[in-house]
Amino acid sequence: MIDKFDLQILDCNCSDCNCSDCKHFKRSMFRRQKSVDLHYKWQKDYFDNKRLRKIKRAQFWIEKGEKLKAKELLKEARKLVFQFDEAECALHYGDCGKLNKQVSCIPEVLQLDTQECFEHRRS
């Protein structure tokens, strides 16, 4: 049984005035993919630099004669596996049919600036 409090929560979830839920929002998959590709590059570069730092540190310890430390660092570098975190690029891109402009939004986040023009796509 749904009580009054649950109905208020459901109503709040449907009225956050987010462009992602607006019937005038037309998604742009090209702009979204461009953003995902850029985030992938940033994350891959960060990962590669992290691995390279461990390898350089291992070389430093080899030159110092500490082969055990170097072996451990190289072992850590070999264990590192790149995993892309797509949640970092949570923006949705598209065009607003009502305002005739390009927009971007984060899903399920309240947007105060779109409360006047928002029309839920389920209505």
Domain presence at residue 10: no
Contacts of 106 (CB under 8 A, 6+ apart): 18, 20, 90, 91, 92
pLDDT tens profile 11-44: 444 556 788 888 889 989 999 999 999 999 999 9
Domain containing 47: what range?
17-114
Q: pLDDT band for position 7 (50/70/90)?
A: very low
Alpha-carbon torsion (58, 62, 66, 68), positive or negative: positive
pTM: 0.71
Q: How many structural domains compose the chain?
A: 1
pLDDT at 30: 93
Q: What angle do CA 38, 50, 33 make, to 5 degrees?
A: 15
CA separation for the pair 105, 118 (Å, rounded) = 13
pLDDT tens profile 70-104: 999 999 999 999 999 998 888 889 998 888 989 88
pLDDT at 59: 96
Alpha-carbon torsion (18, 24, 29, 33), positive or negative: negative
Is pLDDT above 70 for 5? Answer: no
Domain presence at residue 1: no
Q: pLDDT band for position 9 (50/70/90)?
A: very low
